[in-house]
Homo-oligomer: A and B are copies of this chain.
Amino acid sequence: MISFTEENYLKIIYKLSAETDHEISTNSVAELTQTKAASVTDMLRKLSEKQLVSYQKYQGVRLTEKGENLALIVIRKHRLWEVFLVNKLGFNWDEVHEIAEELEHINSEELVQRLDEFLGFPQCDPHGDPIPDRNGRMPELGYKNLSEIGETQVVIMMGVSQHSTNFLQYLAKIGLNLGVIIEVIEINDFDKSLTIKIGGDNQYFISYEVAKNILVKTF
Taking beta carbons and an 8 Å cutoff, which residues of A are in contact with B? 85, 88-91, 95, 98-99, 102-103, 106-108, 110-111, 114-115, 118
Contacts and interface: CB of A to CB of B under 8 A. Distances in A.
Contacts of A115: 89
Contacts of A103: 103, 106
Given A88-B118, A91-B114, A103-B103, 13 more contacts: A85-B111, A89-B114, A89-B115, A89-B118, A90-B114, A91-B110, A95-B110, A98-B108, A99-B108, A99-B111, A102-B106, A102-B107, A103-B106
Nearest to A108: B99
A119 to B, nearest CB: 10
13 contacts: A88-B118, A89-B111, A89-B115, A89-B118, A90-B114, A91-B110, A95-B110, A98-B108, A99-B106, A99-B108, A99-B111, A102-B107, A103-B103
Contacts of A85: 111
A145 to B, nearest CB: 31
